[in-house]
Amino acid sequence: MAEEIKKIMFTVRKAPHGSIYVYEGLEVKLIMAAYDADISVVFMDDGVFALKQGQDTKELGIKGFAATYGALMDYEIQKVYVDRHSMEVRGMTEADLLVIGEDEETEEPVKPQVIDAQEIAAMMAEQHNILSF
Amino acid sequence: MKIAVCIYEGPYNHEASDSAYNFIKAAIDRGHEIQGIFFYHDGVYNVTKLMEPPQDDRHIANRWSALGATGIDIVVCIAAAKRRGIVDDVLVPNVRISGLGQLTMMAIQADRMVVFGD
């Protein structure tokens, strides 16, 4: 009998380029998505900056990885959420968010889903594991 | 309970490695099973035999190695290790380099995964 599919949530809480956590955390997500697990990703706190469209790391002299977020859905990572409050206090709106893929049927661009803290808490309570990067 | 432990920070610079070690010892004393230990980010520096701390201080790499000798699977992420110059030749005994698939299996199979780091 097949084991139940485990729910694993990633939280992204740090700014994308001041440290390597978010970048290496992305590598973990891409690998885990290839396994039999129910993956979700929530961006909150400074982590919401990782979803800002139009990032350019050239002047920083480091490799950017925002383009990979644009392919999250291609990696079978469909459940991507962003905390509304974290965005608001940082002056970001849904218009600032980058695209993570396109809808299979309509081919419309898909953005991360903006949700409230209560919804995040409810999802967290259902998880088998939560990994923070 | 089956517990997996993930460590994100380097030795001495940060308390994560010490906290993880103390947590693991306490968990074992309480009868829990350690599913595995996974070093990621700068955590990969915890198990290099090139470290030589002052003699009156704890030797973090040897401490992990001794824990590995008890049969606990200690895994260093290959991607994080390569980036930082950690290769098989510099590892203390009883730890191994492998991929993020190992972290995935720990995350799936363990009842709890406890992460130490910022």
Supply the pLDDT for residue A1.
46
Supply the pLDDT for residue B51.
98
Residue B8, number of CB atoms within 10 A of its CB: 26
Kindly report the backbone phi and psi dihedral angles of residue B72, in degrees, each rounded to the nearest multiple of 5, phi listed first. -75, 135
| Mean of all residue pLDDT scores within chain B | 97
* A4 pLDDT above the threshold of 90: no
* A106 pLDDT above the threshold of 60: yes
Looking at the domain assignment, is residue A1 inside a domain? no
Average pLDDT, integer, range A102-123: 96
Reported as half-sphere exposure (CB side, CA atoms, 13 A), residue B18 has a value of 8
Interface residues from chain A to B (CB-CB < 8 Å): 6, 8, 14, 20-21, 24, 27-28, 31-32, 35-37, 128-129, 131-132
Strand boundaries in chain A, DSSP class E: 6-12, 37-43, 79-83, 101-102, 109-110, 113-115, 129-132
Looking at the domain assignment, is residue A126 inside a domain? yes
Give contacts of A14 with chain B, Cβ < 8 Å. 118
User: Annotated catalytic, B6?
Assistant: no
Establish, for the pair of chains A and B, how many residue pairs have beta carbons separated by less than 8 Å.
Answer: 46
* B15 pLDDT above the threshold of 90: yes
Rounded (5°) CA angle A132-B108-B4: 65
Considering chain B, what percentage of its residues have pLDDT values greater than 70?
100
Domains of chain B: 2-116 (3.40.1260.10)
Considering chain B, what percentage of its residues have pLDDT values greater than 90?
99
Average pLDDT, integer, range A25-42: 95
Average pLDDT, integer, range B91-113: 96
* B54 pLDDT above the threshold of 60: yes
Looking at the domain assignment, is residue A123 inside a domain? yes
The CATH number of whichever domain residue A103 belongs to comes to: 3.40.1260.10
Amino acid at B11: P
Ranges A3-7, A45-49, A61-65, most confident: A45-49
Kindly report the backbone phi and psi dihedral angles of residue B96, in degrees, each rounded to the nearest multiple of 5, phi listed first. -140, 155
Supply the pLDDT for residue A2.
58
Distance CA B49, CA B46 (A): 9
| Mean of all residue pLDDT scores within chain A | 95
Looking at the structure of chain A, the number of domains it has is 1
Distance CA B50, CA B91 (A): 8
- Interface list for B 69-88 with A (CB within 8 A): 79-80
Measure B16 CA to nearest chain A CA, in Å.
14
Q: Which two tokens stand for residue A117?
A: 């803290």
Distance CA A120, CA A31 (A): 23
Looking at the domain assignment, is residue A109 inside a domain? yes
ipTM of the complex in this document:
0.91
Mutate to test the interface with B, among A9, A13, A24 (most CBs of B within 10 A): A24
Considering chain A, what percentage of its residues have pLDDT values greater than 90?
94
Average pLDDT, integer, range B3-32: 98
> Are residues A31 and A68 in contact, defined by beta-carbon separation less than 8 angstroms?
no
What residues contact B76, with CB distance under 8 A and at least 6 apart? B39, B44, B47, B86, B91, B95, B96, B97, B98
Of B76, B77, B78, B80, catalytic:
B77
Looking at the domain assignment, is residue A29 inside a domain? yes
Nearest to A132 among B103, B105, B115 (CB): B115
